[in-house]
Structures are given as C-alpha cells and as structure tokens.
Amino acid sequence: MPSGQPSDEFDDIWEILRERLWHSLRERINAHPGAVIAAAVGSTILLLIIVIALLTPDKRPPVQDIETEWYYDLNTGKLFTAAKGLTPPIEAPSGPQPNGEPAGVRAYVLTYSHASDKSGRYIGFLETSAPKDLAAHWPTRPAHTNPASTWGRGKLIRRVEDKNWALADSKEGRQIFEEAFAPNADGERPISCPPE
C-alpha cells in the first residue's frame, strides 16, 4: 500500500462531505430566504449597537472627593468651610474666643431635601474635642464595641442654641444626635450637605 493512499482517501471523504454540506446549505437558503435576510439584518443591528456602545463616551458624572467640611464660628454664629478632617476647635475667621480658645467648631449641616436647595439646610449639631483633662478621665470601652458607638469618644456636641456642651457618647449627647437625624413628617431622614 503506497504511503500517499490514506491521505487521498481522507481528501476524497472531505470533498464529499463538503459538497453535501454546501448542497444542504444551499437548499435551506433557497427554501427559507426570509430567515437568511432576518439573520443578516439582526447581525447588522447587533454590530451597530456594539459599535455605538464602544464609541459613545461614558456620561456618568465623575465622583468628586469632598475636600472641605462645614465649621461654625462661635463668635459670629456663621458657617465657614475649612479642610476636611481637622480636629476642632480650629481657627475661625473672626479670631479666637474671649477665653483665647479657637472659635471654629465642626458643624453638621443637614437637609431633608435631596435637591441642592439651600433654604432647607439646617445645622443639626456642633462638635468639638473634649479638653485634655476631661479626656484623660474618659471611661474605657470594651474591645468589642462597634465603630458607630465609639464615634463620640473624646467629642463634645451641642445644638446651636445650647450654652453647654454634652459628651457625645452620653445620654444627653445621644439625644442631641437622635434629634438632629429624626425623620420629618413624611418619614424622611435628613442627609448631610457637604460644602460646594
């Protein structure tokens, strides 16, 4: 048996299969021309959708990092902005308080409106750091305490109209916090209003 014979048989078989498949395909195309047209139109539409999706720029607004926070000037009763993450009290535009302490404290500006309407904004509460002598006597918390309950550690808060500060993690402090974030008549909870 010559070495080229099996290859010739394979070629012959392949040629017969190719002819039968092509013949069968031609018969189906001739029998169903609408299906061929529908497949061609569908493929074209799919290709157009893909091309348009690839060429269309991303229209999502970029996420902006908030770099400033609201602060409240205890001397003037006015809001001002300063860098995010400062530990109050900080220097205020009006200068120090009569006792020499900085007059700037953190202000939590809130609103029930999801729009940028400034008229619905209000100061939920003010925050400052506890004096070092008070912080030195702070009771220790268990190690398993969650971050939400430890937020107030070392902080004093008050309403704008209050004269005295309350420990943020005390009963009075929690009451101030709960009042600031209480739902309105429609059951909506307020959201934070970062500076523009």
The predicted-structure confidence for 5-36, as pLDDT tens digits, reads as follows 666 777 788 888 778 877 777 777 778 778 77
106 and 182 both lie in a single domain: yes
pTM: 0.61
- When pLDDT is averaged across residues 51-74 and rounded to a whole number, the result is 79
Give the separation between CA 69 and CA 24, rounded to whole angstroms. Answer: 74
75 and 165 both lie in a single domain: yes
Mean pLDDT estimate for the chain = 81
Structure tokens at 87: 């530990």
Print the domain residue range for 136. 68-192
50 and 76 both lie in a single domain: no
The predicted-structure confidence for 149-189, as pLDDT tens digits, reads as follows 566 678 899 999 999 998 888 889 889 989 999 988 888 88
20 and 48 both lie in a single domain: yes
33 and 83 both lie in a single domain: no
| pLDDT higher at 158 or 146 | 158
51 and 138 both lie in a single domain: no
